[in-house]
Structure 1
Amino acid sequence: MKRQQFFTTLVISIFALISNVGFAVEVNEQVEVSKPAQAVEAKVEKLTAIEYLQLMQAAYNEKNYEILYLNGLQNQIEPKQLIHGVIDGKELSYFRYLNGVMRESLQYSGKVSYFEQGAQAYTLESAQDRSVFANIANFDYSIGQNSYEYIILGKGRIAGKRAIAIRMISRDDYRYSYVVWLDIDSYLPLQLDTLDKSNIILEQVMVVSLVVTEQVNPWLEKLSQQQLPQVLHLNKPSPGHASLWKVNWLPTGFKVVKDDLHNLVMKENEPVSYIMINDGIVSVSIYISTKKIALAEKQKIIQRGATVLYTSQKNNIEYNVVGDIPVITAKRLIESITRVQ
């Protein structure tokens, strides 16, 4: 409750800031469809929790919209902006931080371009959606029923919109639970809370302004026609250079999506075994290398919001697990790792 009050107070205090942000930060009431209260109530009763989540997916990927949102993490608040559009059947997303040094990115046609004040702009080839709410907007909710239970919590009001809350309850202790708030009219996400098993909010993303339009933002369309910065080609592992280790246990719904050898700066030229697992919402990275220095117990668990960095050292080997998972999951993953024979 105190955290929610804090967010509410903050929203009021930053309106002076966001009023000068430029386009995409004011609610445009003309784009909303006025509906009788009875019709809205009927729609709420008619849809199931999973149907709401699936409609949210479609809206997030197919609609033209502009959102201003707050990213809350350990009492630190970061205002950000996302503009999304669909041009010739392809999604385009523009993202920027609103405070501090200018940081922007543009995702379009399988590439992500990064722009930061004082640094050379560059482009990476990536099909991964890196925008806000992307994890829940690209999740397979039908398959996800093996890992989560979906229930409707109730209705409320967020960013001036009538909203409905859907809770995704983890069926085990190896992942977090979530509460997703959706706009009843557009089905777009308005808030996402990440909760641990004690129902403590670890991270929160909350929209403070949402504008949905029929046409793509003209400025966004212009961006799609601009020449992007040069593509930066990263060194990729050679074929056949798989990790020297394997994970023998995975939480329900997770699968290995990468398995190779990395060269990390901190390990000089020594190859590091790298394994990535993913359940459609969360990606977890596992690094395995020879131990360089001994760590104190307090250095072995670092947690910031939902993200944990867990380090374990056994004999001459060091294991590092990074991801939005509980510590118990990181521990069990490491305990299951064995060397490839």
Structure 2
Amino acid sequence: MQGYRYLLAALGLASSLICSTVFAAAPQLAAPQQTMPQEAVAQQTVAPEDDVETQLPAGEQRALLEGERWFNLMQKALTEFNFNASLVHVQDQRIEMFRWLHGHNSENEELELLHSLNGPEIHIIRRGQTVSYFHSMSSPFSVRANNMFGPIPTAFFREFENISKAYDAVPMGGARIMDRTTVHVRLLPKDQDRYGYSLWLDRETGMLLRMLTLSQEGEPLEQVQLTALEITNEPNPELAQILDLNLPPVVEDIHRGVSVQHEWQTNYLPRGFTLVRGNHHRLPITGIAADYFLYSDGLTRISLYVSEDPEAAVNLRHSGLESLYSHSYADYSVTVVGRLPMATLQRIATSVRR
């Protein structure tokens, strides 16, 4: 029973990475650029990379450079354009609809608004590096962050270089989306340890119009589709209204300065993943104490929980877009949560040693 409750707790933390439940855990994720104290760093071994860079044929090199160019055009469109968009986010049986506004004020500070059009009322407001979350069923709060946590991966708001160790960007032709001509760009993993992505970008502006998260077998796991888009010279007047709002106070992460309590060695991580932060805290629901580590390859994240309680998790697993795998040893247990294939999570969990 305790293991089942631990599964529920870990799944709750996993689901908090998506927009609909970010309100419960966003303070823990508010500062993805925050580096952790040196004493809190777990030893780790990353999947080996080739010692010598493989020389690709000239045609393949040109294709990769073209894919990278389109990705950076998308990043520029998402961060520099004034736009008013509507989108649909499909994940499993859940369908969410949002309105999305982006622009800049007179001081060139980014302004952004995302609000739900079905289900519980959700509003997310970004004013520069302050992001505020409003939910009809919880108290509002603000966090320090450069991007919202929502349907669009935060890596899409940064240049391709940030994910180039783990992915190749390859143009694959195009299609017609929203009556616009697009370029289809595949984000192909450089290994079999993570999911791939398909992006359809407006050929005229580079704007993201559609995104698919794809399993290793090419099956769609998640879809984001714009249903309306207006790009303007001036920001939408609604964005000016958020300049006068009294936003909720910034919530500081109470775990940020808490070091891990034990030394752990992660003997396997997929290529490109680096440690973002680590701390020690008790999990929601169960109250079980665990050392926590957050890793990122720039596009997706891995949450690793290691507890001194060997009965905290008894070889549990849950497959989906956000998967979970746990493994028990004689005197400790490990749970890994992330948007990665089950085999990858299993390999990470079973590699953790004292």
| TM-score category (smaller protein) | 0.7 to 0.9
Task: Give the CA deviation at 1:129.
Answer: 3.6
Q: Which ranges of 4 or more aligned residues in structure 1 deviate by more than 4 Å?
A: 239-243
What code does the residue aligned with 1:312 have? Answer: H
Are residues 1:333 and 2:351 paired? Answer: no
Choose the corresponding residue for 2:282, options 239, 246, 263: 263
Larger radius of gyration: 1
In structure 1, C-alpha distance between the alignment counterparts of 2:203 and 2:161, rounded to whole Å: 21
In structure 2, C-alpha distance between the alignment counterparts of 1:313 and 1:94, rounded to whole Å: 43
Please give the secondary structure, in 1, of the residue aligned with 2:328.
strand
Q: How does 1:111-190 map to 2 (within 5 A)?
A: 111-142=130-161, 144-190=163-209
Please give the secondary structure, in 1, of the residue aligned with 2:126.
strand
Contact 1:245 1:273 in 2 (8 A): no
Task: Give the CA deviation at 1:106.
Answer: 0.7
Aligned partner of 1:284 in structure 2 is 302
Please give the secondary structure, in 2, of the residue aligned with 1:50.
helix
Cα deviation 1:75-130 (Å, max 9, x = unaligned): 43211221111222222221111112211111223222121224332222333442
Task: Give the CA deviation at 1:337.
Answer: 1.2
Task: Give the CA deviation at 1:248.
Answer: 2.6
Contact 1:133 1:189 in 2 (8 A): no
In structure 2, C-alpha distance between the alignment counterparts of 1:159 and 1:51, rounded to whole Å: 22
Aligned partner of 1:72 in structure 2 is 90
Please give the secondary structure, in 2, of the residue aligned with 1:70.
strand
Aligned partner of 1:198 in structure 2 is 217
What code does the residue aligned with 2:157 have? Answer: N
Aligned residues: 289
Contact 1:243 1:275 in 2 (8 A): no
TM-score, scaled to structure 2: 0.76
Aligned partner of 2:114 in structure 1 is 95
Consecutive unaligned residues in structure 2, runs of 5 or more: 1-62
In structure 2, C-alpha distance between the alignment counterparts of 1:226 and 1:139, rounded to whole Å: 28
What code does the residue aligned with 2:300 have? Answer: V
Cα deviation 1:205-239 (Å, max 9, x = unaligned): 11111111111111111112211122333413445
In structure 1, C-alpha distance between the alignment counterparts of 2:221 and 2:164, rounded to whole Å: 23
Higher relative contact order (CA 8 A, sep 6+): 2
Identity of aligned residues (%): 25
Task: Give the CA deviation at 1:241.
Answer: 4.3
Aligned partner of 2:75 in structure 1 is 57
What code does the residue aligned with 2:66 have? Answer: T
Are residues 1:83 and 2:120 paired? Answer: no
What code does the residue aligned with 1:212 have? Answer: I
Task: Give the CA deviation at 1:59.
Answer: 1.1
Are residues 1:302 and 2:318 paired? Answer: yes
Q: How does 1:210-229 map to 2 (within 5 A)?
A: 210-229=229-248
In structure 1, C-alpha distance between the alignment counterparts of 2:161 and 2:140, rounded to whole Å: 39
